[in-house]
């Protein structure tokens, strides 16, 4: 799948911190310092023969004042050049709505890929597929607080659950929003009777906001399916309600989706347990 260069750059900007503009030195004071410094040096040189000690002191402070003014000017020019480069990497940012649109496009592509990898057609499953997802648990995942107060993330972790007459099929993948590419994926298929537990759990993890260098421990919620073969299928989908955070996490799916998956799986599991008696 090809990806627009504009999208790749735009998403990169969205998840890059906008630098602060360096404080410009007072040009008037700088010029005064330079003039005073040169004046003190010239005066000291002219009066060196007559006032050797005094001229040395004046020359010393003149050079010091001149050097500071020149160093401040040089540092500002260097910092400003770096600021322009960093600003170009971070701005202009795409809108929150544009990021959401690209995320929706990626999810549509992920659904298509899941059907291909699981070799499924519309009539092969008995209910509409359940889609659950959130931020991928990767070191490269970055979080950004949008203007709408919602938190978005650079890498997605998506779980799609398909129910057939006898089996549950799952497709899980990690996707990068910048390129729209699937980084890693896996599929599993097992009968309902092998499901041993369906769980929603809260864990702590470090996350990095693009405009904040400090990593925070956040309570995040995970949906997990356990099977008798020791397999665990899990996906992070939300911040817990009691977690400290700046805004609401943009979810893939919803709490209602989680409840629907649990209800369907429990119904199917009970049905097949009844048939086996």
Residues 146-168 have pLDDT tens digits of 999 888 999 999 999 998 888 88
CB 169 within 8 A of CB 162: yes
Q: Sketch the domain layout of the chain as residue ranges.
A: 19-90, 96-276
CB 263 within 8 A of CB 162: no
- Statement: residue 48 has pLDDT above 70: no
The pLDDT value given to residue 228: 86
Tokens representing 270 are: 């009970």
The pLDDT value given to residue 37: 53
143 vs 204, more confident: 143
- Per-residue pLDDT reduced to its tens digit, 54-66: 555 555 555 566 5
175 vs 255, more confident: 175
Judged by average pLDDT, the poorest of 77-91, 156-170, 242-256 is 242-256
- Per-residue pLDDT reduced to its tens digit, 89-123: 999 999 999 999 999 999 999 999 999 999 998 77
235-264 burial: b if 16+ Cβ within 10 Å, else e: bbbbbbeebebeeebbbbbeeebbebbbeb
Across the chain, what does the average pLDDT equal? 80
Give the distance from CA 88 to its chain's centroid.
19
CA–CA separation, 224 and 241 (whole Å): 18
Judged by average pLDDT, the poorest of 169-183, 193-207, 245-259 is 245-259
The pLDDT value given to residue 47: 54
- Statement: residue 29 has pLDDT above 70: no
Confidence label for 243 from pLDDT (cuts 50, 70 and 90): very low
- Statement: residue 274 has pLDDT above 70: no
The pLDDT value given to residue 2: 46
Mapping DSSP onto H, E and C, the string for the chain reads CCCCHHHHHHHHHHCCCCCCCCCCCCHHHHHHHHHHHHHHHHHHHHCCCCCHHHHHHHHHHHHHHHHHHHHHHHHHHHHHHHHHHHHHHHCCCCCHHHHHHHHHHHHHHHHHHHHHHHCCCHHHCCCCCEEEEEECCCCCCCEEECCCCEEEECEEEEEEEEECCCEEEEEEEEEECCCCEEEEEEEEEEEHHHEEEEEEEEEEEEEEECCCCCEEEEEEEEEEEEECCCCEEEEEEEECCCCCCCCEECCECCHHHHHHHHHHHHHHHHHHHHHHC
- Per-residue pLDDT reduced to its tens digit, 211-240: 765 566 667 888 888 988 788 888 888 876
Cα-atom radius of gyration of the chain, to the nearest Å? Answer: 30
- Statement: residue 244 has pLDDT above 50: no
Percent of the chain with pLDDT over 70: 73
pTM beyond 0.85, yes or no: no
The pLDDT value given to residue 257: 76
CA–CA separation, 120 and 113 (whole Å): 10
- Statement: residue 86 has pLDDT above 60: yes
CB 234 within 8 A of CB 220: no
The pLDDT value given to residue 28: 40
CB 138 within 8 A of CB 243: no
Tokens representing 105 are: 């496009």
């Amino acid at each position: 799948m090809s990806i627009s260069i504009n999208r790749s750059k735009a998403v990169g900007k969205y998840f890059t911190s906008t630098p602060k503009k360096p404080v410009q030195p007072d040009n008037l004071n700088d010029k005064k310092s330079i003039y005073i410094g040169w004046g003190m040096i010239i005066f000291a040189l002219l009066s060196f023969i007559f006032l050797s000690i005094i001229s040395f002191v004046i020359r010393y402070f003149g050079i010091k004042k001149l050097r500071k003014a020149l160093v401040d000017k040089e540092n500002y020019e260097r910092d400003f050049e770096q600021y322009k480069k960093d600003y170009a990497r971070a701005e202009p940012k795409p809108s929150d709505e544009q990021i959401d649109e690209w995320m929706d496009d990626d999810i549509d592509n992920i659904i298509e890929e899941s059907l291909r990898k699981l070799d499924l057609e519309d009539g092969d499953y008995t209910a509409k597929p359940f889609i659950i997802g959130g931020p991928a648990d990767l070191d490269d995942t970055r979080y950004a607080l949008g203007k709408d107060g919602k938190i978005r993330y650079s890498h997605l972790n998506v779980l799609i659950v398909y129910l057939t007459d006898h089996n549950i099929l799952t497709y899980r993948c990690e996707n990068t929003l910048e390129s729209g590419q699937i980084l890693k994926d896996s599929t599993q298929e097992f009968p309902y009777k092998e499901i041993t537990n369906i769980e929603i759990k809260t864990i702590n993890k470090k996350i990095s906001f693009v405009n904040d260098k400090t990593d925070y421990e956040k309570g995040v919620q995970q949906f997990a399916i356990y099977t008798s073969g020791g397999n665990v299928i899990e996906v992070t989908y939300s911040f817990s309600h009691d977690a400290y955070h700046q805004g609401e996490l943009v979810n893939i799916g919803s709490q209602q989706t989680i409840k629907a998956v649990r209800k369907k799986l429990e119904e199917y599991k009970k049905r097949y347990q009844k048939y086996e008696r």
